[in-house]
């Protein structure tokens, strides 16, 4: 099939484009500038340089496309994440960008088989030790409301008879993630970047497993609706601290006090402190997908034991 991809050079987009090509699909991807266009060409994709907010360009880019994968995000850096203004671009990509893509997909008619959007599993309310999945209560903070708007846009596409798939992704980590490099660097200094109560669960998924889920959704002709994508074994913050210490060869790493983390993060980032034990069962049963890296305990160890010593993650 021919897939149109936004966000094709990101932590999710890069492994998704690579997997699409490996599986024999053609990829047409939005490039925001010459550098991203060159990276996409090197990955075997055909870049379309321009803006997601150019309706004419988007409509042209969707010509003859079989599936749309809207993976673009712009997460605010931690240094400015407390400021609401730091999330403006991300909000626009999720809300207005998704609306424009859906408008273009609807205008293209029945040729587009599916629109796949990766939402964010931490929209769920704190669930303690209860397993969470689509239908569980949600409690998006102000910076997460735009991802719910995007989910609504995908449902708008589905309401017309198209195949709309929303994947509520756990936190993505792995070899394609700059945030993971920062996490390991912090652990080497003796501090855990996983904050919150010791017994609270934090949902994670290896970036290549997340990409495999996106491709599985695109390739499953009968799949529609909203599903959760996470690893098999969500770990608590205490277990994650232990896994980080083991991965970097330390006896232990310190977990910042929850009260301090709450003060530093503020209300709009308090979802990082919730307990969210997210289940992948529905998506696994619907598609046959399963994570190759079943838990962060395995993934963090894998990152620090890579064979290539020149890797920035080693």
Domain ranges of the chain: 2-175+204-232+278-292
HSE toward the beta carbon, residue 211, CA cutoff 13 A: 26
CA dist., res. 9 & res. 14, Å (int): 5
CA dist., res. 195 & res. 165, Å (int): 31
Q: Which of 12-26, 110-124, 232-246 bottoms out in mean pLDDT, i.e. has the lowest? A: 110-124
What is the CATH topology of the domain spanning 2-175+204-232+278-292?
Rossmann fold (3.40.50)
Share of the chain above pLDDT 90, in %: 85
Mean pLDDT confidence for 254-274: 90
Neighbours of 305 (CB within 10 A): 9
For residue 186 the two structure tokens come to 């912090």
Q: Is the pLDDT of residue 299 over 50?
A: yes
Query: What backbone phi and psi angles, to 5 degrees, belong to 78?
Result: -60, -30
So what's the pLDDT on residue 313?
A: 38
How much is the mean pLDDT over the chain? 93
Residue 188: band (very low, low, confident or very high) from pLDDT cuts 50, 70, 90? very high
Q: What is the pTM of this model?
A: 0.94
pLDDT in tens, 38-94: 999 999 999 999 999 999 999 999 999 999 999 999 888 777 888 888 899 999 999
């Amino acid at each position: 099939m021919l897939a149109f991809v936004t966000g094709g050079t990101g932590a999710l987009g890069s492994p998704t484009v690579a997997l699409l090509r490996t599986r024999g699909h053609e990829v047409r991807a939005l490039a925001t500038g010459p550098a991203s266009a060159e990276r996409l060409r090197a990955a075997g994709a055909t870049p379309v340089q321009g803006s997601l907010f150019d309706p004419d360009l988007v409509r042209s880019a969707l010509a003859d496309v079989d599936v749309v994968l809207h993976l673009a995000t712009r997460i605010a850096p931690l240094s400015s994440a407390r400021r609401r203004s730091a999330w403006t671009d991300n909000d626009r990509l999720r809300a207005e960008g998704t609306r424009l893509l859906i408008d273009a997909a609807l205008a293209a008619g029945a040729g587009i088989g599916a629109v796949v959007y990766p939402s964010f599993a931490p929209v769920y309310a704190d669930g303690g030790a209860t397993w969470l999945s689509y239908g569980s209560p949600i409690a998006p903070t102000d910076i997460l409301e735009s991802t719910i708007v995007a989910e609504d846009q995908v449902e708008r596409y589905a309401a017309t008879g198209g195949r709309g798939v929303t994947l509520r992704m756990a936190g993505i980590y792995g070899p394609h993630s700059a945030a993971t490099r920062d996490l390991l660097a912090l652990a080497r200094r003796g501090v855990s970047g996983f904050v919150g109560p010791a017994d609270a669960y934090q949902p994670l998924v290896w970036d290549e497993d997340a990409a495999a889920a996106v491709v599985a959704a695109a390739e499953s002709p009968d799949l529609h609706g909203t599903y959760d994508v996470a690893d098999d074994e969500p770990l608590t913050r205490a277990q994650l601290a232990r896994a980080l210490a083991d991965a970097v060869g330390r006896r232990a790493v310190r977990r910042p006090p929850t009260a301090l983390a709450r003060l530093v993060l503020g209300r709009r980032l308090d979802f990082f402190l919730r307990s969210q034990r997210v289940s992948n069962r529905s998506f696994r049963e619907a598609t046959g997908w399963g994570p190759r890296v079943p838990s962060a305990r395995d993934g963090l160890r894998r990152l620090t034991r890579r064979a290539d010593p020149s890797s920035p993650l080693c």
